[in-house]
Amino acid sequence: MKKIYREKWIRIIAGSIVLISLILGLFVNKWWFLLNLFVGLNLIQSALTDFCPAEIFLAKLGIKREKDLK
């Protein structure tokens, strides 16, 4: 079985939050769309600064980076 490394987990988490907030925005309340804005801004910020709160959380859980698995 192929191991899922930290960078992929970050994409899975971000994509899941976007999909969940889209569904909530469509069926519950339009204010849930702001969560999509937050996720998008956080992805841009992490690409520019290399600081990602999700990565810190995953590291504390012991999930390795791709380069650590090779």
**3-46 residue pLDDT tens:** 788 999 999 999 999 999 999 999 999 999 999 999 999 999 99
In a domain, 22, yes or no: yes
Number of folded domains in the chain? 1
Contact 66, 3 (CB under 8 A): no
Average the pLDDT over 41-55 and give the result: 94
Return the biggest CA–CA distance within the chain.
Answer: 44
Q: Does residue 1 form part of some domain? A: no
Domain of residue 46: give its range.
6-65
Q: Which residues contact 22 (CB under 8 A, 6 or more apart)?
A: 32, 33, 36
Residue 46 lies in a domain: yes
Within a domain: 70 = no
Residue 13 lies in a domain: yes
Better pLDDT: 58 or 2: 58
Q: What is the DSSP string of 14-47?
A: HHHHHHHHHHHHHHT-GGGHHHHHHHHHHHHHHH
